[in-house]
Amino acid sequence: MTNGPRSGLTAVSTALLAMSRHLEVRDVLKTIVVSARELLDAEYAALGVPDDHGGFAQFVVDGVSDEEWKAIGPLPRQHGILAAMLQEATPQRLADVRQDPRFEGWPDAHPDMSDFLGMPVADGEDILGALFLANKKRDTTRDTPGERRTGCGFTADDEQLLAVLAQHAAIALTNARLYERSRELTIAGERARLAHELHDAVSQKLFSLRLTAQAAAALVDRDPARAKGELHEVARLAAEAADELRAAVVELRPAGLDEDGLVATLRTHVKVLDRAHAAHVTFAAHGVRALPAAQEEALLRVAQEALHNALRHSGASAVEVTLTRLGHGAALRVRDDGRGFDPSGVRRAGRHLGLVSMRDRADGVGGRLTVDSEPGKGTAIEMEVPGG
Ligand SMILES: Nc1ncnc2c1ncn2[C@@H]1O[C@H](COP(=O)(O)OP(=O)(O)OP(=O)(O)O)[C@@H](O)[C@H]1O
Ligand SMILES: [Mg+2]
């Protein structure tokens, strides 16, 4: 290796390290391919990243003009030497690629290639792609006239240099994969949060809204004045649902908690439900102090879902909510005298989000949730939080 390629490699290496942090993977690959062709004096260079369907997800070339590229036609498939490099993960240095038994020909407009140097792009055992060069540019002034040079123009030094560039490509591809994966995870997490938020807050408000609207419809002929009152309630609930929706989307705390605190917010909530439902719904607080915001929010959400379940599923005539001081923290209890159920029989997956969501919320603030229920015995949901 002469000084030229070595200092050239240092420059390329530095540039790649700087750029791979914030550039599209394709641009990084392109830089690698261009550098490989220049540093190793090749006529052609390419890097292919296979897809799962026998083709290439990415195929970056250098040394081929746009017109030539178009004339060649569709992207290559994984066959011949390319396929071999993707399967065997060994470097290939060939004097004449066309003479290799694995060679399967190429399209008419494909440039003619003879000496060939191919390097797998691998992350450990995992082959991510292949980087390859063709046609070492020869210093023809040193050829004896009439004598054709034989042997591969690419040297063992070239092979080493290409291995370093292939490692850079592997890093760029691995980073891109990790980035994509972390983005997917973030999106999935965000979807789960929104689903819970919509379930816990918005769908409950809409449920109350529906009941109140039904009450108004039933009253409108008989008692227009009361129907009017119910309709005001409909408007108020609709406005609250809209607020909750906005809060869920921008991840705000439930309306009311900041201004009024947990006890007042719970008391109001219980009052509204008591009015809207046949069951008698009551609330009592015992010595509760202000708690860390996240714990108050979790308690409120769990109380809302437990109440909602009691009113929707249990047929209870009475539902009691109590909030009691417990050391630095607090304990919430929502108890109904309804039909009860077998908690172990509720499938975790699928459409039932409520119990899962309550547990997640308790876990999320270092708290504990217990579901105490049995058919015929009513249900008690308890949640303890540690406080600040
Ligand atoms: N207080 C209760 N009384 C009787 N059955 C209940 C009570 N709470 C929950 N259940 C039963 O447990 C099941 C699961 O409740 P969960 O809150 O997880 O889902 P859901 O209320 O059916 O649907 P979602 O809450 O997702 O709208 C309910 O479908 C119901 O059969
Ligand atoms: Mg529910």
Ligand 1 contact, 357 CB (< 6 A):
no
pLDDT reported for residue 201 = 76
Distance of CA 174 from the midpoint of ligand 2 (Å): 42
Of the residues 233, 250, 267, the one at which a domain ends: 250
Q: Are residues 216 and 81 in the same domain?
A: no
Q: Are residues 44 and 126 in the same domain?
A: yes
Q: Are residues 224 and 167 in the same domain?
A: no
CATH code of residue 334: 3.30.565.10
CATH code of residue 220: 1.20.5
Distance of CA 355 from the midpoint of ligand 2 (Å): 7
Q: Are 70 and 61 in contact (CB under 8 A)?
A: no
Q: Are residues 218 and 267 in the same domain?
A: no
Ligand 1 contact, 335 CB (< 6 A):
no
Domain that holds residue 93: 4-143+151-180
Q: Are residues 223 and 316 in the same domain?
A: no
pLDDT reported for residue 49 = 93
Ligand 1 contact, 230 CB (< 6 A):
no
Distance of CA 360 from the midpoint of ligand 1 (Å): 16
pLDDT reported for residue 149 = 52
Q: Whose CA is nearest to atom 4 of ligand 1?
A: 314
Question: What is the dihedral sign for C-alpha 312, 315, 316, 317?
Answer: positive
DSSP of 142-168, one letter per residue?
GSPTTPPP-S-S--HHHHHHHHHHHHH
pLDDT reported for residue 147 = 47
Pocket test residue of 311, 313, 361, 382 for ligand 1, highest count of atoms within 8 A of CB: 313
CA Rg value for the chain? 35
Query: What is the C-alpha to C-alpha distance for residues 100 and 132, in angstroms, rounded to an integer?
Result: 15
Ligand 1 contact, 319 CB (< 6 A):
no
Distance of CA 303 from the midpoint of ligand 2 (Å): 11
Other C-beta atoms within 10 Å of 90: how many?
10
pLDDT reported for residue 16 = 66
| Nearest ligand (C-alpha, residue 355) | 1
Q: Are residues 186 and 176 in the same domain?
A: no
Query: What is the C-alpha to C-alpha distance for residues 52 and 216, in angstroms, rounded to an integer?
Result: 60
Q: Are residues 230 and 86 in the same domain?
A: no
Ligand 1 contact, 227 CB (< 6 A):
no
Q: Which atom of ligand 1 is nearest to the CA of 308?
A: 21
Distance of CA 255 from the midpoint of ligand 2 (Å): 21
Ligand 1 contact, 199 CB (< 6 A):
yes
pLDDT reported for residue 2 = 47
Of the residues 206, 225, 250, the one at which a domain ends: 250
Of the residues 250, 274, 303, the one at which a domain ends: 250
pLDDT reported for residue 61 = 94
DSSP of 294-320, one letter per residue?
HHHHHHHHHHHHHHHHIIIII--SEEE
Q: Are residues 268 and 232 in the same domain?
A: no
Q: Are residues 125 and 10 in the same domain?
A: yes
Distance of CA 386 from the midpoint of ligand 2 (Å): 25
Q: Burial, 145: exposed, middle or buried (Cβ in 10 Å; 0-12, 13-18, 19+)?
A: exposed
How big is the CA angle at 106 (ends 100 and 110), to the nearest 5 degrees?
A: 120
Other C-beta atoms within 10 Å of 156: how many?
10
Q: Are residues 288 and 377 in the same domain?
A: yes
pLDDT reported for residue 144 = 54
Residues 247-274: tens digit of each pLDDT = 776 656 676 787 888 999 999 889 888 8
Stated pTM of the model: 0.52
Distance of CA 36 from the midpoint of ligand 2 (Å): 61
Q: Are residues 45 and 109 in the same domain?
A: yes
Regions of the chain with pLDDT less than 50: 1-3, 146-148
Q: Are residues 349 and 367 in the same domain?
A: yes
Domain count for the chain, please give it: 3
State the residue for tokens 């959400």.
Answer: 301
H helices, E strands: number in the chain: 10, 10
Q: Which atom of ligand 1 is nearest to the CA of 357?
A: 18
Ligand 1 contact, 341 CB (< 6 A):
yes
CATH code of residue 166: 3.30.450.40
Q: Whose CA is nearest to atom 9 of ligand 1?
A: 309
Pocket test residue of 206, 309, 311 for ligand 1, highest count of atoms within 8 A of CB: 309
Q: Which atom of ligand 1 is nearest to the CA of 379?
A: 1
Distance of CA 340 from the midpoint of ligand 2 (Å): 13
